[in-house]
Structure 1
Amino acid sequence: MPNTSILFETTKIGNIVLKNRLGVAPMTRTSAYPEGFATDQMAQYYASFAHGGFGLIIVEGTYTDELFSQCYFNQPGMATDEQAKSWEKVVEAVHKAGGAIIVQLEHAGALSQGNRFESNKLAPSAVQPEGEQLAFYGGEGAFPMPVEATKKDIENVIQGFVNAAVRAKSAGFDGVEIHGANGYLLDEFLTDYTNQRTDEYGGSLSNRVRLLVEVSSAVRQAVGENFIVGIRISQGKVNDYEHKWAGKEEEAKVIFQQLGQSGLDYIHVTEYEAWQPAFPDSSRQSLAELAKKYGNITVMANGHLEDPSKASQMVENCTADIITLGKGALANHNWPVKVKNDEPLAIFDQEKILRPNATIKDFELVD
């Protein structure tokens, strides 16, 4: 039997003490009101994970402005004070159930499938995204060609993250997570084939990571020290699962060092299987381990860690401080309780939970 007790140790991020090392990863459910307001159903949904024993809940990607950031119709927003106020009931429900709560702030970039404010898609360069739009989020067919961001657009992106973070703090969230992963705008700047710019935001790796660092630093400055600020990072993307950083560990070193010095409290690394080597042909270290090695801040690991033995091993080996679950949490809102009591875990059923679309289902609202 795996020694899972390490998963139930208290730990700290920034100024917040978590009751354990277990978190729910951000997962888009497109269940907000069309205007981007959080619903009572969402409050019940997120609180169910806290009732189930998770110490940290990271809520789904939330758009930051009324320009290009919205990714999906019925995606929640943090672009207005009214949207922020709608989140207060969600925050209160999670806190009442004993969990800490962070909101992920997202700019869709070229992968936007539903934006009420803009028909064009914004990207670092006019490069058509690979793959096809996600059907369970209402998409169909190829992604359209995006427009290249101007310097003013980039300023607006940064300000959007800043304003959204300030609103999240006012709504009572314990922190924000900047979405720098999975092929969305910030990751598009980081990725060589989607970023073909020739200015200070393109070309070298230091230039490509610049926007992520600037957003992180600006958010930290705006919210102050006593508020959690993290970032999510990945190699793969929702439209390109196989992508790897061409520079391998040297690239990881630059990315994680610069992010680690930008005022962040944590780096949230997501891979298909979090424990696997990030670059199998050159190193045995996982991406989480490289983030720990070079970032010098708290690391969360995500990626098929619903097996308690794999989750606890990553913490025991000091390759991650906190484990976040996505599909494992969807299948078991009370995963921590089940593991603690040595109860069998349910297997994730995509057809049941994410079909015909990704909206929250009534059966998920049972504590």
Structure 2
Amino acid sequence: MPVGRVAVVGGSITGCAFAVAAARGGAEVTVYERTTGELADRGVGIALHVDRYAELVAAGYLDDTTPWRNVVGRKWLLDDGDSARGRLVWDQPAAFRMYNWGQLWQGLRRRVPAEVDYRGGTPVTVGPDGEIGLPDGTREHYDVVVGADGYGSAVRAAVFPTIRPQYSGYAMWRGSCRWEHEPMDDLISICVPNGQGVMYRIPGADGDEDRLSWGFYSSVGGLADARPALLALARKYFPPFWADLVTGTPESETLIQPINDLVVDAYTSGRTLVAGDAAAIARPHVASGAVKGIQDAVAFETACRAVGPAGSWDEVLARYQADRYPAGADLVRVARAMGYAMVEDTPDWATMTPERMVDWWAAQHADDGFGGHALGASISVR
């Protein structure tokens, strides 16, 4: 890695991964996180495909100390008016590890070396050629600025001002509630006309109690009066057992997420790079948001190591762009196709058989991105 200073804007999962990547190469690293305190209470569930998890363990970014719950299959269910939990339409093979967002973040935060200057409560502005504006009006210059500040990225807005998230036409309600039933090793998908329910078990805040993390995609209705619409649709289309869990979730434990698409024209601009959701917003159907951001950091570390101390930051950024831009753009493409099939133009679920479901899934090219892409052949692991 060329010797120098790296600023990471955003201190959540992607930001912590980039702090680890840059620090390993010997850079002087400062993380700017606009919020104060811990981020552990953010989000609900995070899914990591077991193969992507193994790659990130080998690369030295994850380990088995963070609580998780196992998924060995995906059950697609339909309310048949008879069974409390619904009729099984398809039992699909799937292999994931399910996490509580806050606990996954904590695991990465612990990996950030002590010499990294992690500044919470510090919103910044981004100028040209690696310049950072601080709240007190002073400015700092860095050799590289990493935009790891997520969906509403200020870094992306500064370097790519014309690129904005594009609304898909539907939203997802998200929530979590206590799971006081038998251990569940399946990802549950509930078949809804022009929509889909997704549910899985995650560890609770203390790592012991179980919670049900759920999401409900629907193109019916708008974003206004979201809570009444959620309750009505869940009662209408979900099997009673699952409807009770969703509608019984306290309003304080639910949120609505507009589903958007975005991919930047390039992952780099001058001495600035973007990563994670700041670079590419893929619809959640591909279950790879956290994977994508951490992989971006692994690619950055690999580029730094390949260039070496005698190389230049321009070479590092060129290598990062060559590896991560195609991967991000393709993931967005697959996620759009999955969203169209699963929400925008759903089949008549009552007529679907396991054989038809296999063909339906293959027509989306979903296996090209479900769970995220494998790390490229040029990406090294420790």
Larger RCO (alpha carbons 8 Å, 6+ apart)? 2
- TM-score, normalized by the shorter chain, greater than 0.5: no
TM-score where L is the length of structure 1: 0.30
TM-score where L is the length of structure 2: 0.30
Bigger fraction of residues in strand: 2
Q: Which has the larger radius of gyration?
A: 2
